[in-house]
Structure 1
């Protein structure tokens, strides 16, 4: 190999802080958004940081480099390591790579897109109205937990096909399991057990209960004579076949159902809580949106949801892990074994990508498609497979909310960002005062 060729594989990492790894890690764990923003102001749209779990990591906030990363061959970069697969199980889409990931994604895409998703709109409206019957009127209350219950029930009906006692059991164990799993995904594996207070132990206990219930649901689906007429996603998984004619195993189905639940339950509910938090502080936007809903329109609602996701992204990072010797990103050459994180929050707050980014303005998306810097669902081959389902669910919930209630405008300060582990939620839970429409 010539000197010139050797230079081509010499790592060139972006600059970064020279603080001890422990200090960098503490800043990232305790104040992730603020730490990333501060490093971006100092080092620009690419920097290197040493953080817990992921080690020496390159963070980028440039749409060109992000697109370059997301379109890099899966033989050269894979999902970030570690990832949610360590919590959700080896059968989860998060844990699969290469050909296995492509096969599974092709299998799961049809039930989560197009006409199939629109079939679930009635279920979403029903669950919203069932939950909203008990909401307090004319006095502020936090919407995050009610939105969590709505999205959980929607998933249990549309994805799991759960009913009766099984539905009640899953309703009971899944919220704490998701909360614990979200925290576990952001902390290193501990070398020793902490006994009863060990979150891994609590998660494993609830996961065992989940497995028993789901195994029963899968077994019942396999012998259901009416299986072909069911439209829940569990039934579709049981019937689906890979290109070679093989079916998903029970373990794969259980892990994938949990993946759909975790990926689509907390994040969608959190975005809806942010939607309520944003709309009441922008009465002109709220009034225009309510008028459009009454008139049966769609354009401004779509733009508003897009702007909510831009201004309040609940997931702030999307990553890849380098498995090739060198991966080039812009002027940098990232060596094997490094993680590369795309900072969604920095891209969404970049004035070069979105004019006056601190202003909440759905008008910026009216009649236009979001550009490559808009990444609430990640990008590339690992873009959230449930994005269309989530968009439908947010649209139906907000539309039904505005038909049934009037949101009282508020002059209260914006709610702060609160980390729930993987997702960022409004610190006070998206508090709002509602009045019943007559």
Structure 2
């Protein structure tokens, strides 16, 4: 027997508009009204059960793929049939096994110098003493890092992908949630434009694969494309070119904008907490990681992660959900749950000092078999970029109100792009205990 959580009875369009106007505000209001689980109606996913209880989220993430798996409506429709967003079951496990090694151990550490050099190259042109948004810079840093570390691109191909992919990803994100916009109009319109982007992307990846296969030093390369060209399934077969192209595009889509946006939020948060900002200059990796974890808690750039019921019915905690129901873990609600994070509105990196995050309460990378495969890479990239920025620049604190959240489709970003005022450091600006000299000080405001 079906047993769904209660929820609003207003028309689907009214509910969708409420989420569009204020997603976090709507989720918090519904939680106050209905508790830690409620049912809503969405335009593109239909009936959706939203969860904010860690125990029920754990059950969702631990469900077998034949019980609950990726929703029908997702980015796989634009990233390709070989994307992690599109593949399921055995095929998902097989490809995940091939893509795991580049993001762990020695392979992962090999990317650190690349990330630092891209950060310094971008920040060399930062203006001093006047406000500017850091997000355009963090977007360029993370894009360049992925193109080199994942695609192994250099020269003309690097330049062309740098121009092509941001446009393709932005348009693809819109088409994924509004598939009606993909209708063909005699070679015109958004759908036709995306198809042209995709054809050119596939041509460039084909060229990169050809070069990798002809490279006598292929085995010494650390980029993901080179490793996928050499990888083999258990039966000895290689990945097809279209599978490699789809997965590289997936890694870029999942890891570029989200990482860049988190770094922009880090600047926005730290400038409003000068005591934390001062402590982080010259801090060790564990202290930087704790600060970034707290940034991801208070300002998650992805607010929801979903599965769709594939079995005839799914028992989930108190509920029995029928086939086709989309079940969503609300990252934003979990991260602001006072039972998990006391005084959740307070920005306090010390809550993560020397402690592991609650597995099903802190979930910026999702969870279960579909947890972001590049989570360790993203954590490394954010740490190295933040460490490099704080080592080279003093950020002026501010008493300005917090930046509002702006929904960019894939990610929720600071509305002003993480506005900063910086001054290049002198060699003696950072002392041995990590204290930094800031040219301007401000009170440490709450929130």
TM range (shorter): over 0.9
The superposition leaves residues 96-116 of structure 1 with CA deviations (integer Å, 9 ceiling, x where unpaired) of 100000001011001111221
Aligned position for 1:97: 88
Deviates further, 218-227 or 266-275 = 218-227
Contact 1:182 1:420 in 2 (8 A): no
The superposition leaves residues 395-438 of structure 1 with CA deviations (integer Å, 9 ceiling, x where unpaired) of 00011111100010011110011001021000000010010001
Asked if 1:419 corresponds to 2:407, the answer is yes
Could you tell me the TM-score, scaled by structure 2's length? Answer: 0.93
Q: CA deviation at 1:342?
A: 0.5
Asked if 1:64 corresponds to 2:55, the answer is yes
Aligned position for 1:270: 261
Contact 1:404 1:437 in 2 (8 A): yes
Contact 2:309 2:324 in 1 (8 A): yes
**Unaligned 5+ residue runs, structure 2?**
427-447
Aligned position for 2:246: 255
The superposition leaves residues 143-201 of structure 1 with CA deviations (integer Å, 9 ceiling, x where unpaired) of 11110000000011111111111111001111111222222233243484467873323
Aligned position for 2:301: 314
SS in 1 for 2:266: helix
Contact 1:52 1:188 in 2 (8 A): no
**Unaligned 5+ residue runs, structure 1?**
1-9
Q: CA deviation at 1:53?
A: 1.2
Contact 2:175 2:181 in 1 (8 A): no
Q: CA deviation at 1:223?
A: 2.0
Q: Closer, same or farther in 2 for the Cα pair 1:335/1:247, shift >3 Å?
A: same
Asked if 1:169 corresponds to 2:160, the answer is yes
- Give me the whole-angstrom Cα distance separating, in 2, the residues matched to 1:148 and 1:388: 19
- Give the RMSD, CA atoms, in angstroms: 1.3
Asked if 1:202 corresponds to 2:193, the answer is yes
Aligned position for 1:160: 151
Could you tell me the TM-score, scaled by structure 1's length? Answer: 0.95
- Give me the whole-angstrom Cα distance separating, in 1, the residues matched to 2:72 and 2:261: 25
Deviates further, 124-133 or 26-35 = 26-35
Aligned position for 1:357: 344
Aligned position for 2:436: none
Q: CA deviation at 1:326?
A: 1.1
Aligned pair partner of 2:171 in 172, 180, 188: 180
Asked if 1:410 corresponds to 2:401, the answer is no
SS in 2 for 1:328: strand
- Give me the whole-angstrom Cα distance separating, in 2, the residues matched to 1:278 and 1:201: 40
Aligned pair partner of 2:281 in 267, 281, 290: 290
Contact 2:182 2:192 in 1 (8 A): no
Deviates further, 209-218 or 267-276 = 209-218
Q: How does 1:313-352 map to 2 (within 5 A)?
A: 313-352=300-339
- Give me the whole-angstrom Cα distance separating, in 1, the residues matched to 2:186 and 2:11: 31
Aligned position for 1:83: 74
Contact 1:14 1:48 in 2 (8 A): yes
Asked if 1:239 corresponds to 2:219, the answer is no
The superposition leaves residues 29-71 of structure 1 with CA deviations (integer Å, 9 ceiling, x where unpaired) of 3432222222112111111111011001111111000001000
The superposition leaves residues 80-131 of structure 1 with CA deviations (integer Å, 9 ceiling, x where unpaired) of 2211111110011111100000001011001111221110000000000111
Contact 2:74 2:177 in 1 (8 A): no
- Give me the whole-angstrom Cα distance separating, in 1, the residues matched to 2:190 and 2:32: 36
